[in-house]
Chains A and B, each alone.
Chain A
Amino acid sequence: MLAAVDWHVVWQRIFHPDHVFFRALYTTVYIAVVAQVMGVLLGLVAALMRTSKVWPLRFLSGLYVLIFRGTPLLVQIFFIYYGVNLLLGFTLIPNSLNLGLFSLDGAVVAGILALGVNEGAYMREIIRAGIDSIDRGQMEAAKSLGMRYGLAMRRIILPQAARVIIPPLGNEFNNMLKTTSLVFTIGVYEMFADAEIHYSNSFQPVEYFLAVAFWYLVLTGVWGLIQAAIERRLAAAERGDELTFRERLTTAWAPAGAFVRR
């Protein structure tokens, strides 16, 4: 079976990617980052709305989660790309947005919008859990010092909640990097679209999809390293450690610890 695979094509795609591929890779990362940032912001707003005293805000926040977690992402992508135009009778996503410095492909905008709004619904839950994990006494202490809700959230609650939010946020971004592949369906030229086009020109699906899988692994692998570094720093901060450079080196490379007296 493996003999049927043209390994030369696979190596070629992995070790000698062309610049068209790199543009596609850039598009993938770009969409993932912007959509994730959007998701965090929307999630934060929705999480704060959820605890609002104004019931319509609470209701909207609940409805948002209900809809975007309750329907397929693919449907949301198509709905935002095509549906809204038809439904509302105007072009929400023009084919090309000219923003002076650079122009944005309408499909990219629609893709980011769909992924970001969808992500926000999941982020709301994560951020909510983070905020709920902080002892009520923290808000009360802040209030007793004359802080208003917004200030207390910003300076006291959210910085502490961040420690709880960041690990699952890292997993969300790992997911996002891979989920971007769905936007090929509305014609965005990202990594998966690149593989798809090569495949339909060559009818060598295994070769091209194997190669693109490798590249997704590279992206998620690099992100995994970054995530691990962030979480290590968080854990150190949690212990309240103020390590000297030397101590950090010796803990990073444990065997050396034997030679250094603490």
Chain B
Amino acid sequence: MTDVVMEAVDVHKRFGRLEVLQGVSLAVTKGETLCIIGASGSGKTTFIRCINHLEKIDGGRITVNGHLIGYREEDGKLREDSEKSIARQRTQIGMVFQRFNLFPHKTAMENVTEAPVHVLGVPTDQAREQALALLRRVGLADKCDTYPGKLSGGQQQRVAIARALAMRPALMLFDEPTSALDPEVTGEVLSVMEELAREGMTMIVVTHEMGFAKVAADRVVMMDGGVIIEEGTPEHFFEAPEHERTKQFLSKIL
């Protein structure tokens, strides 16, 4: 177990009086694709936002590549880290949002080169070359100079994936990447993700696309009420889910 990329130990998160995460523990190893499923409000989004510290956690700890995320340990106590080092930690973690969140004032190419150039200091020429390769990989080499407003949802989401990959992250987080898309175009995004999984990217994917889970996931976890209630291979979830909540949930989405 030396190649653990992300490890969460007993993570707690409260919004006011509402305890959204009530002790989530999970480890993801290098090259693994993990799917998180669960009913609306079960805390899936909140959990993966905690992994790159878009949400502060109230208890437990999260490490990526062995480094504590968002906090520093001082005399056995956790203190929030400086903005600078949190930003540095985030460069290792790619995130793909449900609503794409592309930069609308920048072309597809500029969206992809923005962070490598301005965060990592990659020379512009090199960044553009790399961006072109990435856009080709997601099938959008011909859309380099197009603004997001003129791309379809599926195309925007593929640009967003390329944008995250441009930072060469050790871990990719996806929060329901296809749920804002028309059914006809979910396939083009999912196949890019399947390809990524095959190439050995470490991925945590919140999704209800059980088809994707079946093809690409090494493991699936079911969240309910802020905890993980069941964990297993995709086959396990298709054939023999144990938990009553899991059975109910799967019967609704399958």
Contact = CB atoms under 8 A, between A and B. Distances in A.
B212 interface: no
Given A145-B164, A145-B167, A147-B119, A137 B87 contact: no
B: contact size bracket? 20 to 34
Interface in A141-189: 141-149, 151, 155-156, 159-160
A147 B121 CA distance: 12
A145 B90 contact: yes
Contacts of B95: 141, 144
B66 interface: no
B147 A137 contact: no
A78 to B, nearest CB: 43
A160 B87 contact: no
Contacts of B84: 148
Contact of B150 (A146, A147, A240): A240
B249 interface: no
A148 to B, nearest CB: 5
A141 B101 contact: yes
B153 to A, nearest CB: 14
Interface string B104-139: 110000000011001110000000000000000000
Given A137-B97, A149-B83, A240-B147, A143 B54 contact: yes
A185 to B, nearest CB: 43
Contact of A140 (B93, B97, B118, B149): B97
Majority secondary structure of chain A interface residues (helix, strand, loop or mixed):
helix
A138 B103 contact: yes
A165 to B, nearest CB: 14
A138 B101 contact: yes
A148 B119 CA distance: 9
Contacts of A160: 103-105
Interface in B87-104: 87-88, 90-91, 93-95, 97, 99, 101-104
A157 to B, nearest CB: 10
A148 B84 CA distance: 7
B46 interface: no
A160 B54 CA distance: 22
B61 interface: no
A18 interface: no
A155 B134 CA distance: 22
B208 interface: no
A141 B156 CA distance: 14
B118 A155 contact: yes
Interface of B: 52, 54, 83-84, 87-88, 90-91, 93-95, 97, 99, 101-105, 114-115, 118-120, 146-147, 149-150, 163-164, 167
